[in-house]
Each structure stands twice: as structure tokens, then as C-alpha cells.
Amino acid sequence: MLKEKHTVDFYRDPKDIVDKLKNRLSDILIDTQLEDNNEKVNATTHLLEKFHLLPKKFNNREVRLKIKFLDDAFPLSKQACNLLGYNFGETLCSSFELIEPSIDSEIKHIIISEDATDIYFDNKENQEIEIIARLLFSSERISRLKAIFSDKEYSYKVKNPDYNPNNDMHKLLNRSYSDLFSYNPEYITETETIKSDSMLLLSLSRKV
């Protein structure tokens, strides 16, 4: 009668009932943890979506993420440090892959302040790491994230739109000296800068 109306089980001895209770509690705890984790992921997803639409409003909010560090970290530029309130020469920056929540995000870099550098060096080879990070928004354009401690020049070759194959150098050599000044090469050197009007970032707080 009791077995028909209630959920019951039988046990052989006190140890058997302890083991069964532990297994049952474990199942309950796992289900609860999964529910809690799903709630946290959903909350983070919603916050990231809001941050992408209203970055100033949700600036400095903390989020719980799973990420993987990509490439090697580099020193954060003086301009970025000044705009975001970090100490130049004591702050790193790294690209990362967002693992959880799995959403499209414009945030591609994470800032690592001096007190969080051990987290980076201890986990940079790991497949994933769970962290608490702070959302950052810069209303001013950050032209360069990486600090450069010596002058560097970047250039590339492009096809010359005014190139005339009839004025090749080897043909000009057979002409007068003044014609050399009209030499128009097939490829010319150009530089290009793509400017953005703002930047979205993360700031590593701690490992979970």
C-alpha cells in the first residue's frame, strides 16, 4: 500500500541508504546547477546585447564569460591607457575568442591590468577559462591598441592607375635625361588608415 501511493525505495543496510541518498542529492544538485548556469548565461547574453546597443549606459557592468586567449598579449598603448584610465607600461591587451555565451560580438580584445596579469600568464595556453570581466566603452576613437616603443613605418605596393606600359624605365633610358622625370612606375607605394569612431572592450577582473 505504501509503495503504491508514495515514492519509496528499499535498502539493505544503513550504508546502502546513505549511498542512495547521496546519489539522489547529487542528481538534484546537478539539475539545480544546470538551471543556475543557464540563468547566468542568459543574463550575460542579454547584458552583452544591451551593451552593443547602448554601450554608454552599460559601461563598467560586470559579466561572467568563458573565453580563450588568442595570440600573445601586448602592451596597451599610451592613448588607450589615458582614455580608459590605466597605467601606461603596466597594462596588457590580448585578443580572445568568446566561448560562452556563444553569440556574435564586436568585442575582440580584453585589457589585462597589472593585478590580473597572473591570470593571463597562468591560463594563456588553456582551451578556455571562466572569468568575470568589466564592459568598457570608449566614446573617443582609439587609433592603436598596441604600444609602440620605437618608430615604425608600414607601407604596401598597389597598382598604379596612371601606369603607361609604353613608358617603362628600360625604354626611357634610351631617351633624353628630361624624360626620366616623367617615369611612371607600374606599382606605387601607399599607406592607408581605417578610422573608427569608438571601441568596445573588456577588462579582466578575476578568474572564476
pTM to 2 decimal places:
0.62
SS (H, E, C) the chain: CHHHHCCCCCCCCHHHHHHHHHHHHHHHHHHHHHHHHHHHHHHHHHHHHHHHHCCCCCCCCEEEEEEEEEEEEEEECHHHHHHHCCCCCCCEEEEEEEEECCCCCCCCEEEECHHHHHHHHHHCCCCCEEEEEEEEEECCCCCCCECCCCCCCCCEEEECCCCCHHHCHHHHCCCCHHHHHHCCCCEEEECCCCCCCCEEEEEEEEEC
Q: Rounded distance, CA 112 to CA 74, Å? A: 10
Torsion angle, alpha carbons of 193, 194, 195, 201, to 10: -120
Q: Of all residues in the chain, what percent carry a pLDDT higher than 90?
A: 44
Q: Rounded distance, CA 80 to CA 93, Å? A: 10
Q: Rounded distance, CA 65 to CA 21, Å? A: 34
Q: What local confidence, expressed as pLDDT, does residue 3 receive?
A: 43
Q: Write down the domain spans for the chain.
A: 40-148+195-207, 156-190
- The CA distances from residue 26 to 18, 33, 37, in Å, are 12, 10, 16
CB 138 within 8 A of CB 168: no
For 154-176, the pLDDT digits (tens) are: 677 778 777 777 665 555 555 55
Please, which pLDDT band fits residue 4 given cuts at 50, 70 and 90? Answer: very low
For 95-127, the pLDDT digits (tens) are: 999 999 988 899 999 999 999 999 999 999 988
What is the pLDDT averaged over residues 8-34?
A: 56
What is the pLDDT averaged over residues 57-70?
A: 93
Strand partners, 66: 100, 130
The CATH class that applies to domain 40-148+195-207 reads mainly beta
Q: What local confidence, expressed as pLDDT, does residue 185 receive?
A: 72
